[in-house]
Amino acid sequence: MDNEIYQKNGFGNRDEYLSYLADNYGISISAVRAIAEILGENEDFDGLIASLEDYTMTSGYSNLLIA
């Protein structure tokens, strides 16, 4: 995928977008990149977002169980 889709959404490129997602969801960039790699670039604005939301909800829930 070229950078045009990222630029249309206010980002310079995919790396900048993934860094934004990591910051926005409070997830390490390595975790975001791993999930993004599994899903592929065609899911960056759909499936990746849903997966990150699930990841944060699951992580938060498991942290509550440990506490």
What is the structure's pLDDT at 65?
45
Strands (E) across 1-67 are located at: none
Angle between helices 14-25 and 47-66 (to 10 degrees): 30
Instruction: Give the pLDDT score at 67.
Output: 41
Residues in the chain: 67
Tens digits of per-residue pLDDT, 12-66? Answer: 999 999 999 999 999 999 999 999 999 999 999 999 999 999 988 886 545 444 4
What's the pLDDT score for residue 32?
95
Q: At a CB cut-off of 8 Å and minimum separation 6, what does 54 contact?
A: none
pLDDT of 2 above 50:
yes
Across 4-15, average pLDDT: 96
The pLDDT assigned to 61 comes to 47
Token look-up 């990150």 returns 52
Which residue in 43, 45, 18 sits closest to 32, CA to CA?
Answer: 18
